[in-house]
Amino acid sequence: MRITTGYLLLIGLTIGLLLTLFSVHDQLETSRKLFHWADVQTTRQPLTSYKPITVTYGKEKVKLYDGLRRDDLTANALPKKVEQTFIAIEDQRFYQHGGYDITGILRAFTENQSTDQKGQGGSTITQQLARMTYLSNEKTYTRKIKEILIAISLEQKYSKKELLTAYVNQAYFANNIYGIELASSAYLGKKANDLTWAEVSYLAAIPNNPTLYDPLRSPQNTEKRQQRILKILANTDTIPKSIKTKEVALSFNKPVIPFPDYIDASVKEAIRQTAAIKKLDYKAAQQYLHQHGATIATYLDSTEQTRAKQSIVALPKEIEGAYVGIDGRTHGVTALVGHKTDLPGQFNRATQSFRQPGSTLKPLLVYGPYLEKTKATLSSPLDGRPVCFDGYCPENSGNRILGEVTLADAIAYSYNTPALRAFSVSFAEGLKAIRPFKFSQWSKQDNAYTSALGGLKYGVSPYELTNAYTTLANDGLYSPASMVRTITLSKGEGTLYRHTVQNDRIWSSRTNQVLRKGLTNVMTYGTGRLGYDARPTYIGGKTGTTNDNKDMWFVGIKDQHIGGIWLGADIPRPFPAEANSTLQVRTWANILR
């Protein structure tokens, strides 16, 4: 009996030992995979390889980090006062731990359990850097574990000085300001190396909670935290207790990104081009450009851009606007305005707003294909009587009843009934002619008679429409425009992208010449006459308004320069007085004066 019991006990111990070994093996394997994951993250996106993207125009250049300005310090240039202050208030054991501080984690865990809230982070500077660079701000224990793993990996790859420098370079200081160097110049008008203890502690107060400690909106909160930081510095013997601090003289100098509408849009275009070339998603392509210190050369004309911005800003308060300028010779976008503000990262109506184009679509969808098919001339007659196709029965402006009109007058006065009859003749040809323009929101529903007058389901953007009109400045040939001339990479890696002209014939030279003459009539005696200018060798254009005058469009050509403009409201509303006075034409003429 005893022998049997002994054998059973031995078998039980053996099974227990095997289960323990298997459990340990599984845990070790899991740990190995987790540490490998963290190593992959920090290898794929090294801290030291994250460089600014440089955007150039003419002889000027702008350096950007994720669309915003940042003046990074190098580890060798990290000011001693900045180093000591952030260590004192964020991570006093920074130079002792290996990326995480178990004491801080346990303290935070205890406080979180007692309050039933995940308010305490217990994060070291390296963990905070890991979160800023690789993770989100969600407050979960899973994210905390990932944060620790990445922090350990970072500590193995970088020196403490490099980690601390990366941290103060990425820290957010409110008001679209990242990094201590830019914060120093923006708020105090000096370099970080020249800061006093009072000034360092004042700026160091902000990143803890940029909303609460915003020095422009809540200066009293910033000052209170500054005093707490000074006490910490004194208690840790970072500064002598006898030091008397002076009040900080705040003088905000907003960091400026010139021409933010255009700069934002050109960087996004460069990222999309990179994604296509390298077969990456958008985020990975953005990282690629930063890691290779890319330079984006643009076609921006600062004079035209400034005039366009001023003209859009000068519009009545209730009217928004967008403008796009394109050089017909290079197919380069010379100006792009999509909002009234001077801040980066805003909704860009030139590229992101899609509205029904009204009669500005007629030359592209109706009259070009009609001329190509029928070989008509501007003196050829069109039936302007009331008409219906597939239940669509449009009226002319002012409910005007027409008889027979010339093609020239139909274009110049933007009549609707003769345009619909012309479209019925070249319906299939019209739908084929506009395919190369690749209007991104064109739907199957738009393959209908309603489109003859620009009644689309979603519409087109000012950028897309102006781009399509370059055909009229290039003998009937179309090539997609671009804001980006070239994308070049640093360290002699060469040119990643170069904008080239790739002509696609939309219609014949003869058709294009007749159309151009028709668009000149628009300017001399038609709906665009308030924009007429006798100086250029050629001038032509087309107006467009939608039902109830909710959208006002004009695309005009001076010699080989094309400018397109849209006016309206984000939530559509009528603007009858402005439409009747062709405000969009007058605004366009002011830009290209």
Q: Are 537 and 520 in contact (CB under 8 A)?
A: no
Count the helix, strand and coil residues of the chain and give each as a percent rounded to the nearest 5: 50, 15, 35
CA distances from 524 to 308, 527, 534, 588 (A): 23, 9, 9, 16
What is the C-alpha to C-alpha distance for residues 68 and 193, in angstroms, rounded to an integer? Answer: 22
Listing from the earlier edge strand, what are the strands of the sheet with 332-337? 332-337, 320-327, 561-568, 551-558, 539-545
Q: Are 262 and 298 in contact (CB under 8 A)?
A: yes
Q: Are 408 and 520 in contact (CB under 8 A)?
A: no
DSSP secondary structure, 395-443, as one string: --GGG----EEEHHHHHHTT-SHHHHHHHHHSHHHHHHHTGGG--TT--
| Pair of tokens at residue 381 | 């007659």
Q: Are 52 and 290 in contact (CB under 8 A)?
A: yes
The DSSP letter of residue 487 is: E
pTM score, two decimals? Answer: 0.81
Per-residue pLDDT of the chain (593 residues; tens, 9 = 90+): 555 555 566 566 556 655 554 555 555 565 577 677 777 777 777 776 678 899 999 999 998 988 888 888 989 999 999 999 999 999 999 999 988 887 666 655 555 554 444 444 568 999 999 888 888 767 677 777 888 888 889 899 999 999 999 999 999 999 989 999 999 999 999 999 999 999 999 999 999 999 999 999 999 999 999 999 999 999 988 888 777 667 788 889 888 899 999 999 999 999 999 999 999 999 899 989 998 999 999 999 999 999 999 999 999 999 999 999 999 999 999 999 999 999 899 999 999 999 999 999 999 999 999 999 999 999 999 999 999 999 999 999 888 999 999 999 999 999 999 999 999 999 999 999 999 999 999 999 999 999 999 999 999 999 999 999 999 999 999 999 999 999 999 877 899 999 999 999 999 999 999 999 999 999 999 999 999 999 999 999 999 999 899 999 999 999 999 999 999 999 999 999 999 999 999 999 999 99
What is the C-alpha to C-alpha distance for residues 450 and 429, in angstroms, rounded to an integer? Answer: 16
| Pair of tokens at residue 48 | 């030291």
Spatial CB neighbours of 540, under 8 Å, sequence gap ≥ 6: 472, 516, 517, 518, 519, 520, 522, 523, 556, 557
What residues are paired with 505 via a beta bridge? 477
The DSSP letter of residue 392 is: B
Q: DSSP strand E in 180-338: where? A: 295-298, 320-327, 332-337
What is the C-alpha to C-alpha distance for residues 142 and 140, in angstroms, rounded to an integer? Answer: 5
What residues are paired with 576 via a beta bridge? none
Which residues are catalytically annotated? Answer: 90, 359
